Amino acid sequence: MQKKLLAVAVAGAMFSPLAMAQSSVTISGVFKVGIDNVKIGNPGAARAGLNTNEWRLTDNSSRIIFGITEDIGGGLYGIAQLDARPQLDDASNGSIDGGNSWVGVRSNTLGTLTFGRHDLHYGKQPDDIASKAGALMATAVSLMDYTWVGGSIANATRTPNVIRYDTPNFGGFAATIAYSTSPFGNESDMATGGRKGNAWNFNPSFTSGPFQVGASLWKAKGDGAAGVPLTAVNQDSLVLYGYYRLGAFKVGAAFNDSEVEAVAAGVTANVADRRNWTIPVSWSMGSHNVYAHYTKAGKDKAAEAAGITDTEAKMWAFAYVYDLSKRTSVGVTYAAIDNKTNAAYNFFTNTGSLGTPASIAAAGEDPKLLAFTVRHAF
């Protein structure tokens, strides 16, 4: 009898933590892959004798999201998220923590505080072309969050090392305030003896019924790179955005004013200073969805100050998406970028692991995209 009681006590000690745990775990995500044709119009001399288009299979940022919530009591919750990014076309490029991954606490009355990796500042334009089965490469981010030489603003992806606070919603008003201890990579303050990097993002917005307006301010400086002379980068950017829905239609607009400076041996030089804008539109009725945008990259003042002209670009994009069900959709997308002689804008994600090196447009080249995409959300 005593042995039986002892066994019950041991089992209770082993498994009581599991029984007491109040955390809930949700699994959601998207699988999205397209068959793409990328073509380089107006090819430069370096492409002489080479192919100027390719058919390929492209993952469109598929993801599996694990959301964790524990009800601590008193309107307070412990929260965490792991946003894994498998790449279905090429598993060697996938990342278990490539997305928005963080841990923190949420209060019903005080807001949310998290620590980890977050999308900050970039992609604020109300552009829905990548929704459902539209191609991710066709989004207006292609011009809105890059410079004439191809440099990205706010990484054009997740910012690492982030402390983020999101206010509660006050009658439609909400804001994000975020700080990164090292916005462009791992901490290197103690390894260099150079300056210490950081970044701030302030993103207030107001949403009421069919419309939204917002602004996002980004100010960042990179850690001083190892070695002498010190090499680093500064970024200042402001985005103004908004949209209005009228029945099945949605029209938006966004303006992006960004400046990038290079810092070397104590000397600061402007490398980019441009103002880009976009007008996205969409229409949805039943199973039918149409998305489009026109985006313009303006002249770069830093380039003109250095005697470099023709840094403008423009982009058109169109997608038709058909919903096979609430979770599965198929779509066709066409997009084109017209770069002037010294502009080197490219399709979003095509310059990273989701693209191929030979399909990256050089200055003056004009990339074109035709994509057939299938998406399943769960």
| Domains parsed from the chain with CATH numbers | 24-377 (2.40.160.10)
The full DSSP string for 279-303 is EEEEEEETTEEEEEEEEEE---HHH
Let me know: does 369 contact 137? Beta carbons within 8 Å: yes
Question: How far apart (Å, rounded) are the C-alpha atoms in residues 120 and 201?
Answer: 7
- Residue 28: beta bridge partners? 65
- The predicted pLDDT at position 175 comes to 98
Question: How far apart (Å, rounded) are the C-alpha atoms in residues 364 and 350?
Answer: 17
- The predicted pLDDT at position 231 comes to 58
Task: Give CA angle at 11 (10, 12), nearest 5°.
Answer: 90
* HSE (side-chain half, CA atoms, 13 Å) at 348: 26
Quote the tokens at residue 373: 């995409």
Q: How far is CA 350 from the centre of its chain?
A: 13
Q: How many CB atoms lie within 10 A of CB 373?
A: 26
- The predicted pLDDT at position 227 comes to 52
Question: How far apart (Å, rounded) are the C-alpha atoms in residues 230 and 263?
Answer: 7
Let me know: does 347 contact 366? Beta carbons within 8 Å: no
Quote the tokens at residue 273: 């200073």
Q: How far is CA 183 from the centre of its chain?
A: 14
How confident is the prediction along the chain (378 residues), in pLDDT tens digits per residue? 444 433 444 344 434 444 344 689 999 999 999 999 999 999 999 999 999 999 999 999 999 999 999 999 999 999 999 999 999 988 766 678 789 999 999 999 999 999 999 999 999 999 999 999 999 999 999 999 999 998 999 999 999 999 999 999 999 999 999 999 999 876 767 766 667 889 999 999 999 999 999 999 999 998 876 554 455 789 999 999 999 999 999 999 999 999 999 887 677 889 999 999 999 999 999 999 999 999 999 999 999 999 999 999 999 999 999 999 999 999 999 999 999 999 999 999 998 777 788 899 999 999 999 999 999 999
Q: How many CB atoms lie within 10 A of CB 305?
A: 11
Question: How far apart (Å, rounded) are the C-alpha atoms in residues 263 and 260?
Answer: 10
Question: How far apart (Å, rounded) are the C-alpha atoms in residues 47 and 260?
Answer: 30
- The predicted pLDDT at position 263 comes to 82
- The predicted pLDDT at position 200 comes to 98
Quote the tokens at residue 48: 């002489």
Quote the tokens at residue 366: 């004009």
- The predicted pLDDT at position 191 comes to 66
User: For tokens 């949700």, what's the residue?
Assistant: 26
DSSP state of 186: S
